[in-house]
Every structure is written in structure tokens, then in C-alpha cells.
Structure 1
């Protein structure tokens, strides 16, 4: 998606900035790759996807049997008393000690046969939740990459603004020196000197503000990419994946990650209605049990046995709470349907706005370049006329300020051309690492899902620290 057209961005600006530094140049592609690999926000979104992936094996567990083994060892200390006749014919009490060690063992296997459709509906809902979360991960990825582009381009912009303002202070200092010299020989008045002094004081304040903005841009770059900025290379605007605002709106309506996530959320909401309705339907299961009981009444006894039981449960009335939950799920599905429409409208609005802003920024660049050429000619003429006395010092200062303002405007417009081209790509869902062909190993969103979907047991971490997809 990189534009083949020749230098549109700050090539002229960067030629004067940092030209003597020996630091290795950083490209926008490298900065984006660093953000893709290291940004904590993106890592958090990937971890959240793995959390949602676990909903699927949890739903599938409704098909699987449950096995329970119960052991109940114990000790009983008891005595019995009985009436007996001794040899002399007298009635006496006979006591017997009945202490014993007891043990009850049982194993139960329960296999669900029918749960009112709950397992099927829960599985569909979990899979839709996974797909929605994948779309949200793409949205987060786009946002991180867009923030990186803004930080990278913003840093170049503020570097150039600082350079322009430093140069302006130097020009105004020479202008002030020349004004003082002419004042000493009586060619101009004290008013001209005061005007020059005022203008250079304002220029120094502007330079200090630009330097503060530059330090903020450095901090933003470090936060986004995790690396300190070096000498940056001017990027190019993207070749847009659409040719008109209408194309941008149509693509955003179907491809924007937020729209896709909302669609899968709505599908999950409809599945949840079936999940709740399952509580009103019959439930069937099969249970097999084996047991052993040692010394349950007296020492030296053991009882064993097996049983198989089929259970059918038909709910008739359970207080009405289940009916309320079905109604609640249906209304929530209606809410999610409205969110789809809202997200689609937002995506269309963002795509059209980004497209129009990109076009206006390109037009602004052309106009500002013409303005700079005219301002340079005007400044040269004013300076020549001031030498012969037909122009005042204020005229020269105003011409210099107008030229500076035009150059700063051009720097900002060029920066906006690059950032808005990426904003258009993000609005239509095309600002991903795959679309940008970043030199990284792409994160495989399905790797963890495949590992855990049909896993019956296991407590390990089945995620991988790096991606498993092929490098573009």
C-alpha cells in the first residue's frame, strides 16, 4: 500500500535536520514493526482473545461425561448390650464391643444426553464471541498502528518546526543587529528598534514552545513503539485502497473491524436466546455407578454393586425466572442489532470524513507551496525597498513572519497528508500489519483456539510467545 509517487513528505525538511548525525535512520515500517511486536495495548488485546477462546471448550464440555470418585473412610466405636441367662438361671446383661473401620467407595459416570439444546446454542454463541473478539483485536491493531504513524510523523513535524523557529530567531537577530546599526547612524527611529526587539522576543517564545512540543512527541513515540527515536526517515502517504468517498463508505460499512465485531456480537446475542430457552425444555442423562461398602454395620462385612440409571427431567414451572431470562435475552439481541447499525454509520462517517480531509490536505499542500514561492519573492522585494528607504523595518519583519508562517503551514499540511492517508485506510479496515506488509511475523489469532478447542484436560499455557503465521 506504499505510494510509488516520489517524495511528497518532508524530504526538504529533513535535508536540513539532523544531516550531520551518525545515528541510523529509522523508517516508518521499522517503527510500525516495533509497535506490532511490543506495544502493551496490543499484547493485552491478544491475551483477551485467548481468554475468549476458552469459551468454546467450556461450551463443548456440555457434551462430555463427568466422572466422580468418592471415598469415605471412617472409624466407628460402638457397643451392644443384650440380656442373657447364666448357668445358674439368672438374667444378666451381656456387653459386646463393635468398633470397626468403615470404608465407602463409589464411582459415578454421568453422560448428558439432551440438555434442551443448551450445548449446541452455547457452542454457537462461544464461536461468535471468538470471531467478534478477533475483529476487536484487528481494531486494536489498527489503532496502535495509527497511533504509531501519528507519533512518527508528529515527531518529524515538530523537529522541522523547531528547525524553522531556530532559523527564524537567527534571522531576526541579524535583523535586530542591522536595525541597531542603522539607528546609531540616524537612518531610523527608536520605534524601528523596538519593533525588531519585540519580534525576536516573540520568536524565542515560539521556539521554546516548539521545543516543548518536540519533547512531548518524543515521549509519545517511546510509549507507542517502546524504543527511543533516532534519525527518522520521511515516510510517504499510503496509496489509498479506495478511489472516492463513496467507495470508502461502502468498504467501511462491511470491512471496518468495529462493524464486524458488532455483527458477531449480534449473532452471539441471538444464540443466547436459545441458551436461555433450553432451561424450559426437558433434560435427559444417563448415570452409571459402582460402589463398595466395608464394615458398614459390623466387622467383616462388605457390600458391592453397580447401577445404571436413565433420568428424564421435564420442567413444568420454576417460578417464572427462566421466562424472564428468555425475554431479557431477546431484548438484549435487539439492543445488539441497533449497535450494528450505529457502528456501521460511525464507520461510514469516519471513512468519508477521513477521505475528504485527505483530499483537502493535498490541496492545501499545493496552495501553500505557491504561497511560499510568492512570499519569498515578496520578502526579497521588501528588503531591497527597505535599503532605499521606501519600506520600513516593520514591513520587513511582517514579510519574514509571513514566509515563516507559510513554511510552518506546509510542514503541518505535509504531515497531515501522511496521517490522513493512514486514517482512511484504518476507517475501511485496511491498516493492519498484513495490509502494510510489515517486516514482522504475523500473530496467528487461531493458534490458541486450535490448541484448546477439543482439549478435554490440561492446565498448561498453550499460547506461544511469538506468532506462528508466515512472514509476508
Structure 2
């Protein structure tokens, strides 16, 4: 007995160790899976950011799940075309047998124990529900895929714009930092000139005010950058506690601003038009479905039954009384109060409503393209003007700075030139990213962003 208890105790300890080991392995696997799904980017270029967003953005993931759900639902509907086989078992114990009076005598019928086992099979030959499922399966799958594509396109456009917005703020911070360096150097020059008696303290104090304002502006932009980076992470599905090392090349981006503005809208390329066309096709299938209500439904069936009867339960299953049959069922509704005609009219009206929706969508797409193209052209003109202004502002600042040091210009003119240079550079980078963002709107309106 002691030996048995000792073995049982050892077995229990071994089982506990195996359970703990299994739990550790499961937790480790889960941790690794989570880590792989949210690995931070080493270099966050635009292509990497978009690629990451397409793989991790919740809206895209939901669209992919919806696509899988649609596929499973279609398979469930198509399963009705296959033979349906069922099994039914029944047992009954009669407390009192059925009685009937015959010739003045009470006669009881039946036995105390009855049981049956039934195998039934059916096969749909024609049924408008399964016919609709089989005829529209590919179209429903296509529509689910189009919805996923639209989610991806929206993510790509929004993430790209947010990326450009964050870059614009980073450039403003860089411009502010360079401006602070120049202002600190200018402050030292003004202080030296004041100490040497060349100028009064007005220049020194004005330089101090400008430097303080520049530092405050830098602090504001740094805080705004934090928000813009968090917003970009949210759109990407990126871990909020991880750093996003954004990398960019302004010169390379300047090469990407050009766009053929002579292109015409092809409605068939736009994702929203494709989705509505898919809805139109499915609605036409619904019209046919309503018409099929006048057709009969046909199915085949067969049953095989095993019956058992005996007064003694112990002998119930000793003797079997089988019987079987096959047949065909034809169902044809003859009169439904005009319901089928009303359903056909309703389906046709819905079909006509979609025609009007397609017409309205064409106008909306054309308006969207016109607005996006106008925004692109205006931003492009602004960008080209600001690009020229940057060179002029740098040249003006250098000249006035030299003239101030030579005593020809006042410090007020230096501050004006410094302000013009900072504003012009900020406007230049803002215009660059605005034209890139508006280019995305044009490409979206043309239906040239495909995923």
C-alpha cells in the first residue's frame, strides 16, 4: 500500500511539472508572437511606414476578417447543394396502452416498449435559395475583396498624409534650431557692439526678445511633433511606447512631386465605383431571385427505419422491423396574394435606385478629382514660388548681416531679414509636403492607388 501511495505521489509531481512546463511554453510562444506582430521599425521611411500600416492597422485587419467571414458564409450556403444526411433515435415506454372497445369488449393495442432508429437523406435538385448562393458566390467574394482594398487605400492615403505632416513639423523644428543658432550669434554681436559703445542697448534687447520668441516657438513645435507622431503611430497600428525613427530625404521627395495633370477620370478605376458596380450586379441577382419565386422547388429524399417493439425492455432490441422508402418532393406556391409580384417590383426599384447612385457617384468622383487637382496645382505653384524665395531670402540675409557688421544697416533690418528667412524656409517645407499630400488626393480620385 505504501509503495502504491509513493508511486501515486511521484506520478502527481511529474504531472505537475509537465503542466508547468506546458504553461511556460504556451506563455513563451504567446510572448514571441506578440513581439513579432508589433516589432518596431529600425528605419521608418515612407515605404516602410506604409508597409507596416497595411500589416498592422486594425481597420485593415478587420476588413480581412470580414473577407474570411464572407467566405465561410458562402461555403455554408453552398453546403445546401450537398446531400443532407440525418439520424434520429427514439424510445417510448407506454404506461397505459391505447384501448378500444370492439363488440363490447375493451381491447388494448400495442406493446409497452417501442424504439426506432431513422436514417434520412435529402438532395436539393432545384431551390432558389441555393441557386442564388451558387450564382452570386464569386460576386460576393469579389465585393468583400473590394471592401478590403478600399480599407487599404484609405490607410495608405491617411498614413502618407500623416507622414508628410510629421515631416513638415520636423523641418520646422530644424529651421527653428538653425534660426536660434543665428540669433545667439547675433545676440553676441549685439552685446559686443553695445559693450564697445558702437550701438545702444536697443539692439541687444531686441536680439534677446527675438531669441526668446524663437525658443518658445521651438518648444511649441516640439510638443506638436509629439502629437503628430502619436497620430501617425495610431494610423499605422504601431506600438505607442516604441520610438518611430522617421527617415526622409527632401531632395528625393522633390523628385516625386510631379504629376501628369492632363489625365482624365476613368470611373471604372475608382474603388468606390467598383464597389457600387458590384452592388448593382448583386441587386440584379436579387431581381432574378424574386422572379424564381414562380418556379417550383424540387428535392429527392429517402428514409431507412429500424423499429423495435417488445413488452420486455430486456428483449426490446432482439427483433428488428425495418422499413424504407424513397421519393421526390415538388413544391409550387399557387397563390400568395400578389406577394411575388410586389417583391419583383421592390427589387426593380432597388435596382433603379442603384442606377441613380452610380450617376451621383460619377459626379462626386469628378468633383473630388477637380478639387484635388486644383489643390495640387495651387500647392505646386506655391512650392515653386517658395523655393525661389528661399534662395533670395538667404542672399538678402547674408548681405544685410555683412552690412550691419560694417555699420551700414541697422539691427532692425537684420531682424526683419532673419524673420523673412525663417518664414520663407518654413513655408517652403510646408508647401513641399502640401503638394505631396494633394498629389495623393489626385491619385486616389483617379483610382491609381491600388492594393
The TM-score range, normalised by the shorter chain, is 0.7 to 0.9
Unaligned runs of 5+ in 2: 1-40
Structure 2 CA distance for aligned equivalents of residues 181 and 158 of structure 1: 34
Q: Give the length in aligned residue pairs.
A: 398
- Provide the residue aligned with 2:248 in structure 1: 233
Distance 2:216 2:330 in 1: 83
Q: Deviations over 1:8-51 (max 9, x none)?
A: xxxxxxxxxxxxxxx96443322222223222222221111112
Given that residues 382 and 431 in structure 2 are in contact (C-alpha distance below 8 angstroms), is that contact kept between their aligned partners in structure 1?
Answer: yes
Alpha-carbon spacing, 1:322–1:241, altered in 2? closer, same or farther (3 Å): farther
1:50 and 2:68 equivalent?
yes
Q: Report the Cα offset of residue 209 of structure 1.
A: 1.9
Change (3 A) 1:334 1:190: farther
TM-score normalised per structure 2: 0.76
**Partner residue of 1:211 out of 197, 203, 222:** 222
Which is bigger in relative contact order (C-alpha 8 A, separation at least 6)? 1
Whether 1:173 and 2:184 are equivalent positions in the alignment is yes
Can you list the C-alpha shifts for 1:266-317, whole angstroms capped at 9, x where unaligned?
A: 1111111222333343222222222232228998775432222322222133
Contact 2:257–2:435 (CA<8 Å) still a contact in 1?
A: no
User: In 1, are the aligned partners of 2:259 and 2:439 still within 8 Å (CA)?
Assistant: no
- Provide the residue aligned with 1:102 in structure 2: 114
Aligned residue in 1 for 2:172 = 161
Match of 1:102, SS state, is: strand
State the shift of 1:71 in Å.
0.9
Does residue 113 of structure 1 match 2:131?
no
Distance 1:356 1:96, change over 3 A: closer
Q: For 1:19-418, what aligned pairs fall within 5 Å after superposition? A: 25-78=43-96, 100-115=112-127, 117-183=128-194, 187-188=198-199, 191-223=202-234, 224=236, 226=238, 228-230=243-245, 232-234=247-249, 236=253, 243-247=260-264, 249-250=265-266, 253-295=267-309, 303-319=321-337, 321-387=339-405, 389-418=407-436
Structure with more helix by fraction: 2
Counterpart-to-counterpart distance in 2, 1:169 and 1:230: 24
Shift, 1:240, TM fit: 8.9
Structure 1 counterpart SS, 2:369 = helix
| C-alpha contact (below 8 Å) 2:254/2:432 kept by paired residues | no
- SS of the equivalent of 1:350 reads helix
- Unmatched 5+ stretches in structure 1: 1-22, 84-92, 434-472
